[in-house]
Structure 1
Amino acid sequence: MWKLKIAEGGSPWLRTLNNHVGRQVWEFDPKLGTSEELMEIEKVREEFREHRFEKKHSSDLLMRIQFAKENPRGTYLPQVKVKESEDVTEEAVTTTLRRGISYHSTIQAHDGHWPGDYGGPMFLLPGLVITLSITGALNAVLSKEHQQEMCRYLYNHQNQDGGWGLHIEGPSTMFGTALNYVTLRLLGEGADDGQGSMEKGRKWILDRGGATAITSWGKMWLSVLGAFEWSGNNPLPPEIWLCPYLLPFHPGFYLIIHYFYINFFVFLFLN
């Protein structure tokens, strides 16, 4: 059974200046969990899989189940429903507020912060798996259980047309589909595995011209893997890093824009 570890180390190679504050790591313990708890986890997984095209985010369900056991709510308050023709009473408002406080207290970690999944991007995991593969460290770094969950994650976020998007809510792209298909193969999935999912992914790629239609970043990763000729990549002169950051063709320009929008919306939200 999986357990989320908060602000813990566990490796002599992992150094920290703040006692691992903010670090969240999923660890697999084969001895953890009763048969009832394991059945609950499988039920949640199956429900998410069946409705994955309707609600594409997992909402950290495994984490919430774990925290619900570690932080029992105590007295259960019934949900308040107010019809349009009814007046909103003070009692109804108080009950709703208490329910909200109780719920958010339940999903709070023991050190005081609220953990959250960095879910969404579908182009980060392929880079990790490709790098571990070419360095021969895939099975040394990723346990069998970790690889199994990675495959489950990729299958769960495959679009209905067989492809993968740039993120879990996005339409299928060659960048997302080719890289995630390759990732599944590197994780041990066969050409016909996934109850037809691998075949659908391969068909999506071939029907749109093959992996040669992938973007430059994708070509780079495939070249690193040895699946695409380096001559097919557009050159990127390293000297452009010496240009001012505000120039649109500077590699860091988009990071500046990205952080500007994040801070702008945070400012609006807090004010």
Structure 2
Amino acid sequence: MWKLKISEGSEGPWLMSVNNYLGREYWEFDPDAGTFEERAQVEVFREEFRKNQFKTKQSSDLLMQMQLRKENPGVQIAPPMKVKTLVDVTEDAVKTTLKRAVGFLSSIQTHDGHWTGDIGGLLFTMPHFVIALYITGSLPSVFSSEHQKEIKRYIYNHQNTDGGWGSHIEGRSTMFGSVLNYVTLRLLGEELEEIAVARGQNWILDHGGTTLIPSWGKFILAVLGAYEWSGCNPMPPEFWLLPSFSLFHAGT
């Protein structure tokens, strides 16, 4: 079972920031964590998300909420107040609603006082991370088999009905999102025998192929060795001489 961890700070030589990563959030897998009922509930969350993946794209952080509510057992959430018309909006109804909102937020507050949550949006950041780790030979040491399993689950869960992937979780399929997520699945060991992988490949081929991916995608694929450098869009070197705040600076 996955458990959200909040860093207490680190003095190690390989992990540092201006505050030693105090408050850094990360997920840690423990096969023995949680009760039987909690692990069963996690599977229910997963199955419900899978069944509704085309209607509700965001996970709602249900696993995180379950964990934090367990860590805040003293917080009480008021029962819901049903208001059908404006006439029913009484002072008690307003107070109850506010208490319920405060109670909910208090129940999912971390032990150090902040609120956390998933960045449920872009579908091209994780592929860049995986590709970079694969290129440097660091993939197995940074991502355990359980991490890799969840990355694949995440990608499959956000595949569109047409077989492609968007640039973000609610977007229509794009060549950028589709190629990067398809390549990520293949780097993580998925084969074309997997129906979802084959559908992803078909979407790419049916929409013109990888040559239609934007410049950013061509570059990372060329670094990977899966695309010819000659196929990348040239970047005039003079752009590097522009101020870094310029919209045309190569690093922008």
User: When the two structures are superposed, what TM-score results if normalisation uses the length of structure 2?
Assistant: 0.93
**Deviation (angstroms), 1:9:** 5.0
Any idea what SS the aligned residue of 1:56 has? coil
**Aligned position for 1:171:** 172
Q: Which residue of 2 aligns with 1:144?
A: 145
Q: Which moved more, 1:13-22 or 1:107-116?
A: 13-22
Does the 8 A contact of 2:158 with 2:169 survive in 1?
A: yes
Residue of structure 1 equivalent to 2:56 = 55
Q: Which residue does 1:159 correspond to in 2?
A: 160
- Counterparts of 1:149 and 1:11 in 2: how far apart (Å)? 29
Q: Is the 8 A contact 1:243 1:250 kept in 2?
A: yes
RMSD between aligned alpha carbons? 1.8
Q: Which residue of 2 aligns with 1:6?
A: 6
The 8 Å contact of residues 10 and 22 in structure 2, kept in 1 or not, is answered as no
Residue 247 of structure 1, CA deviation:
4.8
1:64 counterpart letter in structure 2: Q
How far apart, in 2, do the equivalents of 1:247 and 1:38 lie? 50
TM-aligned CA deviation for residue 126 of structure 1: 1.0
Q: Go from structure 1 to structure 2 and tell me whether the alpha carbon gap of 1:75 and 1:174 turns closer, same or farther (over 3 Å shift).
A: closer
Are 1:73 and 1:103, in contact at CA under 8 Å, matched by a contact in 2? Answer: no
Checking the alignment, whether the CA contact within 8 Å between 2:2 and 2:30 is kept in structure 1 is: yes
**Residues of 1 paired with 2:175 and 2:17: CA distance?**
39
1:117 aligned residue = 118
CA distance in 1, matches of 2:153, 2:96: 39
What are the Cα deviations for residues 201-220 of structure 1, in whole angstroms up to 9, with x where unaligned? 11100101211111111111
In the TM superposition, what is the alpha-carbon distance from 1:22 to its structure 2 partner? 3.5
Unaligned runs of 5+ in 2: none
Secondary structure in structure 2 of the residue aligned to 1:98: helix
Q: Is the 8 A contact 1:3 1:29 kept in 2?
A: yes
Amino acid at match of 2:98: L
In the alignment, structure 1 segments of 5+ residues that lack a partner are: 254-271
Q: Against the structure 1 CA distance between its residues 124 and 76, is the aligned structure 2 distance closer, same or farther, given a 3 Å change threshold?
A: closer
CA distance in 2: counterparts of 1:172 and 1:46, whole angstroms: 23
| Equivalent residue number for residue 205 of structure 1 | 204
Number of aligned pairs?
251
Aligned match of 2:102: 101
Partner of 1:241: 240
Q: Please, which moves more after superposition, 73-82 or 125-134?
A: 73-82
Please name the residue that 1:250 is paired with.
249
Query: Cα 1:130–1:85, aligned 2, differ >3 Å: closer, same or farther?
Result: closer
State the TM-score, normalized to the length of structure 1: 0.87
1-side partners of 2:35 and 2:245: how far apart?
56
Q: Secondary structure at the match of 2:88?
A: coil
SS at match of 1:86: helix
Identity of aligned residues (%): 59
* Aligned residue runs from structure 1 range 70-81, under 5 A: 70-72=71-73, 74-81=75-82
Residues 219, 99 of structure 1: CA spacing in aligned structure 2 closer, same or farther, 3 A cutoff? same
Question: Is the Cα–Cα contact under 8 Å of residues 7 and 19 in structure 1 kept in the other structure?
Answer: no
